[in-house]
Amino acid sequence: MRCKILHESKGRIRVHMQQCHMTLHEADKLQYYLEEQDFVRKAEVNERTSNAIIFYDGKRDAILKVLSAFDYATTDVAVPEHTGRELRIQFEDKMFSLVVRRLISKFILPVQLSNIKTVIRAIPFIIKGLISLFIGRIEVSILDATSISVSLIRGDFDTAGSVIFLLRIGELIEDYTHRKSVDDLARKMSLNVDKVWVKASDGQEILSNISDIKEGDIVVIRTGTMIPLDGVVDQGEASVNQASMTGESEAVRKDTGDLVYAGTVVEEGELCVKVQKAQGAGRYDRIVAMIEESEKLKSESEDKASHLADRLVPYTLGATLLTYLITGNATKAASILMVDFCCALKLSMPISVLSAMREAGDYKISVKGGKFMEAVAEAKTIVFDKTGTLTHATPKVNRVIPFAGNDENEMLRLAACLEEHYPHSIANAVVKAAEEQGLTHEEKHTKAIYVVAHGIASTIDGKKVCIGSHHYIFDDEGCVVPPGETEKFDGLPNEYSHLYMAIENKLAAVILIEDPLRKEAADVVRRLKEIGFDRVVMMTGDNERTAKDIAAKTGVTSYFSEVLPEDKAAFIRKEHEAGRKVIMIGDGINDSPALSEADAGIAVSTGASIAKEIADITISSDDLSALITLRQLSEKLMDRIHYNYRAIIGFNSFLIFLGIVGVLAPTGTALLHNVSTVAISIKSMTDLMEPEVKADRE
């Protein structure tokens, strides 16, 4: 691709693409192509000017090389179906058209035609106000209709036209803000599934790229896995969490012939699904519909502000009437009507939340709604799962200790064969260890049964095989240590997590899992205490010795070992009964009940699909310090919301006073009211964190 360098400085270059016109899709393709380069921090592509601004690390030659290699037709780039660019262009075009039409009406059209146009423009506002009055709802639409009507009756068409223009500007900004909020959130909730198990004609399961899946293929989805494509259940039965599609809190039972949807998650069971729509077509539209009907975007502070705005309308009407009765001056009364608290309160609050959610995304934190940031700001208790959160999300197999005369490699091969179908960091470690040793594992077992937070059971060559926790193997399944090997079993090193495997109720091997503590874990726990968390709790299904060791190293205020999923959820309920808000951080299927129970459930990005789907917030697995950033962002968001609330009430009350005493005419109060609304909204869109903090994170 040919381009011209327009300007450059250290780490930044602006180029012009040598083409007559750039389409929206071409702009998106170029931007995503640039941003997928390792050395590019950020790229901005303007489709109107065909310019691209690139922020990069390293040498400029690398930028020039990738630009010259780029071609719209041949370069393969994954571009989401919805990027937000089209929505922004629509808003800009509508805003430009609105301003141009107002200028034409005011300065070019003859006065008579301009007045007729003003009357026509006023009709929808008057009808809306009359409808509100007819159904007995005293809302802002009545204020708007009254102010416009008074101006028209008095023959002040210029004031009426200005008021209508300002109201339409406000409506356009509010509509765009809402649609952008929904669009941003919907895109954050879009799928991120790369591979899926496909059932071949001979019954074998093949791990395939999702891009290779065609309509009619049979895909296998097991417990804890996200359904990546729309389809019909061909075989099996399962409980499916459809909260992301329907908002239902309870899982839905799915059986042969039932429809299943991309983005829903299998909580329990196994399904063979016949694909109907490749790449999950239609998912975005369903997410948008779900979000528009939900209240997830609103925090309690937003909700209170919204209700207050409506409750203040009767007082504004009362002040208007009282002013007219006392002064007999319609202009002073109309000046009060031009000021309402609704626009600013209902517009600036969502913008503040949207901006905070966008800024959180800069730190690789995905938040599903403002109320969850409010919960993070107010919580006093924070609960950690151990594996994959306080410890690394990529544990490693240290070694395999065989029992009952079994071969070490064969036991690892067998363990990998069972574990590869289930999403958990320890399962991934077992599969990876087998791969590194070149141990291939064909599907020799029958249907595997996954018991959440316990383990896996299956049958191989007619023998029952179990793999999982100590509690599952020895307490639930009643397995025993082979005779003469008790001393060997008792001598297992405590510094590792233990994964037990038994064949025919006899211990066959113990896999030692090296699960090193995150280097930042202790510092993060300390800082969490400093910024307001009274209780920092660790809950794990691991044994007491390992849990105690990790607790001592991290400095958590308390810990619980060998807990089940329901134990974690029960602890959170007890905290709620004590009047405390709770945050839960986890990454596994077994954390899902607790994530759902918490005021804000936080999942680690490398965790199980169901954990990320149920969680309200997702953070990067790279660094737990994101929790500190999240808390700071959330507190600053609440501070901004409260500041906006006070500023709006104070300034608009001042405008009403100026209208009463006759200092401001209706157009003056309308202009200042709208200017203040836009100003507060623009201020609400600025970053909450200091620039130096961002620089440190980068």
Residue 387's closest CA among 563, 509, 627? 563
- Average pLDDT estimate for 457-467: 86
Residue 325's pLDDT is what?
82
Specify whether the CB–CB gap between 481 and 507 falls below 8 A.
yes
pLDDT at position 295: 46
User: Quick one: pLDDT at residue 181?
Assistant: 61
Which runs of E-coded beta strand occur in 552-696? Answer: 558-560, 582-586, 600-604, 617-619
Q: What is the pLDDT of residue 304?
A: 65
- Per-residue model confidence as pLDDT tens digits over 328-371: 777 777 777 666 666 667 667 777 887 888 788 778 888 877 88
Residue 628, domain member (yes or no):
no
Residue 57, Ramachandran bin (φ over 0: left; ψ between -120 and 50: alpha; else beta): beta
Q: Which of 70-74, 256-260, 264-268 has the lowest mean pLDDT?
A: 264-268
User: Do 384 and 403 sit in the same domain of this protein?
Assistant: no
Q: CATH number for the domain including 50?
A: 3.30.70.100
Q: Is the pLDDT of residue 510 over 90?
A: yes
Q: Which of 579, 594, 621 is the last residue of a domain?
A: 621
Q: In what order do the strands lie in the sheet with 497-503?
A: 396-402, 506-514, 497-503, 463-468, 455-460, 449-451
The reply to whether 291 falls in a domain is no
Average pLDDT over residues 37-49: 90
- Where residue 409 sits, what CATH number does that domain have? 3.40.1110.10
* Mean pLDDT value of segment 478-498: 88
Tell me which residue has tokens 């079994």.
406
**Phi and psi of 213, rounded to 5°?**
-75, 135
Of residues 219 and 201, which shows the higher confidence score? Answer: 219
Q: How many angstroms separate the CA atoms of 205 and 200, rounded?
A: 6
Q: Are 421 and 496 within one domain?
A: yes
Longest dimension (CA), the chain: 106
200: tokens are 């071949």
Distances (CA, A) of 155 to 37, 102, 115, 143, 161: 62, 19, 9, 18, 11
Pair (73, 129) in one structural domain: no
How high is the mean pLDDT of the chain? 82
459, 445 contact by CB (below 8 A): yes
478: pLDDT strictly greater than 70 = yes
What integer pLDDT is reported at residue 198 of this predicted model? Answer: 87
Tokens representing 112 are 């008579």
- Is pLDDT larger for residue 523 or for residue 137? 523
**pLDDT digits 0-9 by tens, 55-65:** 998 888 888 99
Is the same domain home to 467 and 594?
no
DSSP-assigned letters across all residues of 528-544: HHHTT-SEEEEE-SS-H
Same domain, residue pair 561 and 498: no
Query: Given this model, what pLDDT does residue 289 score?
Result: 58
**Structure confidence at residue 132 as a pLDDT band (50, 70, 90):** confident
Alpha carbon separation from 343 to 122, 140, 681 (Å, rounded): 19, 9, 10
Q: What's residue 399's pLDDT?
A: 92
Has residue 360 been placed in a domain?
no
Q: Which of 8, 5, 11 is nearest to 698 (CA)?
A: 11
Encode pLDDT of 362-417 as tens digits: 788 888 778 899 999 999 999 998 877 888 766 789 999 999 999 999 999 989 88
- The arithmetic mean of pLDDT across residues 83-109, rounded, is 87
Among 181, 190, 579, 642, smallest CA distance to 374 is for 642
On whether both 551 and 650 belong to a single domain, the answer is: no
pTM strictly above 0.75:
no
Given a cut of 90, is residue 253 above it in pLDDT?
no
Instruction: Read off the pLDDT band of 696 (50, 70, 90).
Output: very low
- In percent, the amount of the chain with pLDDT more than 90 equals 27
Beta bridge partners, 15, equal 5, 52
pLDDT of 538 over the 90 cut: yes
Give the residue from 31, 50, 79 where a domain finishes: 79
Whether residue 659 is contained in a domain is answered as yes
Residue 249: CB partners within 8 Å, gap ≥ 6?
243, 596
Match 């899709």 to its residue by tokens.
25
- 353 DSSP 8-state letter: H
End-to-end CA distance of the chain: 30
User: Does residue 359 sit within a domain?
Assistant: no
Question: Which residues 6+ apart lie within 8 Å of 447 measured at CB?
Answer: 270, 458
**What is the pLDDT at residue 250?**
65
pLDDT greater than 50 at residue 231: yes
Return the C-alpha torsion angle 600, 602, 608, 609, nearest 10. 60
Q: Is residue 629 part of a domain?
A: no
Sign of CA dihedral 490, 492, 494, 497: negative
Instruction: Give tens-digit pLDDT for 570-602.
Output: 999 999 999 999 999 988 777 878 888 899 999
In a domain, 386, yes or no: yes
Question: Is the Cβ–Cβ distance between 345 and 645 less than 8 Å?
Answer: yes
SS3 550: helix
Q: Which one, of 28, 170, 176, 166, lies nearest residue 90 by Cα?
A: 176
More reliable by pLDDT, 374 or 605: 374
For residues 109-138, average pLDDT: 89
Predicted confidence band at 692 (pLDDT cuts at 50, 70, 90)? Answer: very low
Alpha-carbon Rg for the chain, nearest whole angstrom, is: 31
**Do 400 and 388 sit in the same domain of this protein?**
no
How much is the average pLDDT of 281-298? Answer: 54
- What is d(CA 262, CA 242) in angstroms, rounded to the nearest whole number? 10
Which range of 99-103, 131-135, 524-528 scores highest in mean pLDDT? It is 524-528
Cα 15 from chain centre: 33
pLDDT recorded at residue 277? 66
Residue 325 CB coordination number (10 Å): 9
| pLDDT tens for each residue of 636-651 | 999 998 888 888 888 8
Task: Choose between 213 and 47: higher pLDDT.
Answer: 47
Q: In this structure, are 401 and 505 located in the same domain?
A: yes
Q: Distance between CA atoms of 157 and 148, rounded to whole angstroms? A: 9
The pLDDT of residue 301: 66
**617-619 and 365-367 beta bridge pairing:** antiparallel
pLDDT of residue 58: 80
Judge contact between 215 and 276, C-beta under 8 A.
yes
The SS3 call for residue 675 is helix
Give the separation between CA 451 and CA 223, rounded to whole angstroms: 9
Of 570, 589, 621, which residue is a domain's last? 621
What is the torsional sign of CA 609, 611, 616, 622? Answer: negative
> Is the model's pLDDT at 419 over the cut of 50?
yes
Range of the domain at 221: 195-284
Cα separation, 118 vs 115, in Å, equals: 5
CATH code of 252's domain: 2.70.150.10
Structure tokens at 478: 């009643």
Task: Lowest mean pLDDT of 101-115, 371-385, 437-451, 596-610, name the range.
Answer: 437-451
Rounded-to-10 torsion of CA 203, 209, 211, 213: 0
Same domain flag for 476 and 521? no
Type of residue numbered 610:
I
Q: Are residues 421 and 388 in the same domain?
A: no
Q: What is the DSSP string of 252-274?
A: EEE-TT-EE-TT-EEEEEEEEEE
In contact, 348 and 681? CB cutoff 8 Å: yes
* Residue 117 Cα distances to 100, 104, 105, 168, 241, angstroms: 14, 11, 8, 14, 53
For strand 449-451 and strand 455-460, is the pairing parallel, antiparallel, or unpaired?
antiparallel
pLDDT at site 530: 94
For the residues 511-523, what does the mean pLDDT come to?
A: 88
Residue at 25: amino acid letter: H
Strands 381-385 and 265-277: unpaired
pLDDT at 488: 92
CA distance 559 to 389: 14
The answer to whether residue 331 is domain-embedded is: yes
Q: Write out pLDDT tens, residues 653-672.
A: 888 788 777 777 766 776 78
Rounded-to-integer distance, Cα 219 and Cα 241, Å: 18
Residues 243 and 260 occupy one common structural domain: yes
Number of separate domains in the chain: 5
> Which residues lie below 8 Å from residue 170, measured CB to CB, with a gap of 6+?
343, 347, 674, 677
Going from the C-alpha of 238 to that of each of 260, 264, 669, the distances in angstroms are: 11, 12, 61
Give pLDDT, residue 294: 47
Return the structure tokens found at 124: 């929808």
| 97 and 199 fall within a common domain | no
| Greatest mean pLDDT among 18-22, 239-243, 391-395 | 18-22
